[in-house]
Structure 1
Amino acid sequence: MVEAIETNASIELPFSSPEEAEVIHDSLKPEELLPKTTRTKVDITRRKNILYLKINAKDTAALRAAVNSFLRWAVVARDMTKV
């Protein structure tokens, strides 16, 4: 049996302004605060116009799923600010 390796990703998302980064941060924050799964933990912070995502996962499949989800939600939130 292959043992799963705990893994993590740190992602920096620069935005055109601190206000835009704040809107995206506030949009993603509820997802971070949902009841924790046993496979992933996500921390979202913002400094000026940069959003930081730190994702820890029990295995690479969980990491990939969390990264894809949070990046997709960030793109949707960013696109909604342009409507």
Structure 2
Amino acid sequence: MARAKRASAHLELSFPSAKIADAIYGSLKPEEILPEAAKCRTKITKRKNVLCLEVEAEDTAALRAALNSFLRWASVARDMVEMGRD
């Protein structure tokens, strides 16, 4: 059976302010540290109000799973920040 090709993605998430991006960055950064056995590696960086997410995975299924998780976590973190502003 042929070995699956590695897959990677680079996403940039823009937020209304650097303060909101900071809060979400702080929420997601701990998730960047994954066990050695993980099927993917992630790197999260921030520039002003933009979060950059780079994911490298063993295959497209692992990439999709990692992206879905990080995007869901980012969405929840954004919702929490917005609730705190109300």
Q: Supply the AA of the counterpart residue of 2:54.
A: K
What is the count of residue pairs matched by the alignment? 83
Report the Cα offset of residue 38 of structure 1: 3.6
Report the Cα offset of residue 49 of structure 1: 0.2
Aligned residue number for residue 5 of structure 2: 5
Identity of aligned residues (%): 54
Aligned residue number for residue 68 of structure 1: 68
Q: The residue matched to 1:82 in structure 2 has which SS? A: helix
Q: The residue matched to 1:42 in structure 2 has which SS? A: strand
Q: Supply the AA of the counterpart residue of 2:51.
A: L
Consecutive unaligned residues in structure 1, runs of 5 or more: none
TM-score, with structure 1 as normaliser:
0.94
Q: Supply the AA of the counterpart residue of 2:69.
A: S
Residues 1-83 of structure 1 aligned to structure 2 (within 5 Å): 1-83=1-83
RMSD: 1.0
Residues 31 and 39 of structure 1, relative CA distance in 2, 3 Å threshold: same
For residues 8-65 of structure 1, the C-alpha deviation after alignment (integer angstroms, 9 at most, x for no partner) is 0000000000000010000001111242434100000000000000000010000000
Q: Supply the AA of the counterpart residue of 2:11.
A: I
Q: The residue matched to 2:8 in structure 1 has which SS? A: strand
TM-score, with structure 2 as normaliser:
0.91
Consecutive unaligned residues in structure 2, runs of 5 or more: none
